[in-house]
Structure 1
Amino acid sequence: MTPEDLLTLLVGHRERLADGLPDAEDRQEVAAALRELHEAVTTGRSASPAVRRLRRALSALPPEHPVSEALRSRRYAADGAGDRPAPAPDAVGTVLNLLEARGPGTAPESGARKAVQPGPDPADLLAAARERLLSVPALSGPEHAQLLDSQGELPALIRLADPRPGASGSRCPRFQFLPGTLQPLAVVLRVNSLLRADVDPWGAADWWLGGNSWLHGVPADLLGTVPDEELEGAALELVESD
């Protein structure tokens, strides 16, 4: 499934897309991902990061939703490179307008189309998402220093730059370690490598700490309770391994 196919899928299920996202934050994240995708394709940049963000946002849909079922059954290309065309700006705009025009429980459109009101500022949504990720338990300063002394940088670990007043350095979420130790979990390192945590630590953290319909829970909360292979398989579904 190419990025264009993904948008076609969303248009085809437009009447149920908003209904599958009753939480306003989830709906806004899908809209923000679509805006990022629209900007990428209109400026000629790679669509890959925006499509990955959209795929993560769509994981908030319930597993029985037709979009979730289609995404589980077919892989799609995460970039517009080679013979896989990037989605057309008009297609992105169509899905975004349909999503923002209707909230959950809204009756299907009929007759004249209502004007779409501007959505939340993507910068505000990004700031709120980063604040949420920075609020999770993380290593203390001395623990982080001890980790660096004993194991080095370990690029596969998620480290989030903390810009908040009074903060220093970066935060290393604690879920990545064996409880009570500074020993990184092998499955976390493997999944983080798949998610390119060294390049996009925020995206990797969002995958671990957000709801995932394929896993029926939050991946970080499922560590040690579901097979490692299932976590890796869910990550592979996102990054599209050819």
Structure 2
Amino acid sequence: MTPEDLLALLVTHQESLAADLDEEDRAEVAAALRETREAVTAGRSASPALRRLRRALSALPPKHPVSAALGSRRYAADGTGGRALPSADAIGAVLNLLEARDATAAPDSGPRTGVEPAPEPAELLAAARERLLAAPALTEREHAELLSSPEDRPELIRLVDPRPGGSGARCPRFQFRPGTLQPLPVVLRINGLLRADLDPWGAADWWLGGNGWLHGVPADLLGTLPDEELEGAALELVEAD
């Protein structure tokens, strides 16, 4: 299934798509679609935006047709290999459907003069980073001890707070065996798949966000689900890159 096929599927299931996503998730899908449209219009690779779209759509229930399609290994995350990228007009059509949701969801709330604008991508990004920075992390002492180790671990997620006066790098605690500074091997393998060295925020978002295919938050499922299932879910996200 090409990205254009995915957009066609979103149009086909527009009503259930809007109904099965809450306001925040719809806003994130819309932001990913706007980012995709900008990349297509500018002639840039849309792969990062389409990965963001896949992550946003993972909030759908597992039995939703879009979830089933995205779980297929036939899905391509970019238009490489002869596959067609969606047109800017096709992306705009899906955006219109999503952004019109609030205008039709509550007809008894009084007349509306227009559709409320979705949050800007920068606002969504700031909110996402704030959420990730709030996750349990190593203390300053533990982080300093980790950095003093002779073994370099570039695949560990380290998040640098970009806010004015923000704290230094934070290393999410889920990556380690409880009560130790020993990284979990499965975390290191998946972080490698997610390229945590290049995109620590994206990797952290995968671990700490809801995942429709895994029926939970991946970080919370460590030690509960088999490592192979966690790795398989991460591979689904990156296999087409």
Is the alpha carbon distance of 1:93 and 1:170 closer, same or farther for their aligned partners in structure 2, counting shifts above 3 Å?
same
Counterpart of 1:135, as a letter, is A
Give me the whole-angstrom Cα distance separating, in 2, the residues matched to 1:123 and 1:37: 15
Counterpart in the other structure of 1:63: 62
Give me the whole-angstrom Cα distance separating, in 1, the residues matched to 2:227 and 2:103: 35
- 8 Å contact from structure 1 (residues 133, 209) kept in 2: yes
Counterpart of 1:200, as a letter, is D
Counterpart in the other structure of 1:239: 238
Aligned residues: CA RMSD: 2.1
Counterpart in the other structure of 1:111: none
Counterpart in the other structure of 1:187: 186
Cα deviation code 1:172-203 (max 9, x no counterpart) = 11111111111111111111111111111111
- 8 Å contact from structure 2 (residues 40, 87) kept in 1: yes
- 8 Å contact from structure 1 (residues 209, 220) kept in 2: yes
Deviates more, 1:157-166 or 1:119-128: 157-166
Deviation at 1:115, TM superposition (A): 5.5
Counterpart in the other structure of 2:13: 13
- 8 Å contact from structure 1 (residues 18, 103) kept in 2: no
Give me the whole-angstrom Cα distance separating, in 2, the residues matched to 1:219 and 1:73: 19
Is the alpha carbon distance of 1:151 and 1:52 closer, same or farther for their aligned partners in structure 2, counting shifts above 3 Å?
farther
Counterpart in the other structure of 2:146: 147
- 8 Å contact from structure 1 (residues 75, 237) kept in 2: no
Is the alpha carbon distance of 1:103 and 1:17 closer, same or farther for their aligned partners in structure 2, counting shifts above 3 Å?
farther
Give me the whole-angstrom Cα distance separating, in 1, the residues matched to 2:169 and 2:204: 13
Residue 171 (structure 1) aligned with residue 147 (structure 2) = no
Deviation at 1:86, TM superposition (A): 2.2
Counterpart of 2:10, as a letter, is L
- 8 Å contact from structure 1 (residues 194, 239) kept in 2: yes
Deviates more, 1:55-64 or 1:142-151: 142-151
Deviation at 1:74, TM superposition (A): 4.3
Cα deviation code 1:89-125 (max 9, x no counterpart) = 1111111111111149839xxxxxx954432111111
Deviation at 1:85, TM superposition (A): 2.5
Deviation at 1:80, TM superposition (A): 2.3
Counterpart in the other structure of 2:109: none
Counterpart of 1:17, as a letter, is L
Counterpart in the other structure of 1:120: 119
Counterpart of 1:139, as a letter, is L
Counterpart of 1:75, as a letter, is R
Counterpart in the other structure of 1:36: 35
Give me the whole-angstrom Cα distance separating, in 2, the residues matched to 1:99 and 1:151: 50
Is the alpha carbon distance of 1:75 and 1:127 closer, same or farther for their aligned partners in structure 2, counting shifts above 3 Å?
same
Deviation at 1:151, TM superposition (A): 4.6
Q: How many residue pairs were aligned? A: 236
3-state SS in 2 of match to 1:73: coil
Cα deviation code 1:21-47 (max 9, x no counterpart) = 0x2211111111111111111111111
Give me the whole-angstrom Cα distance separating, in 2, the residues matched to 1:237 and 1:56: 11
Unaligned runs of 5+ in 1: 108-113
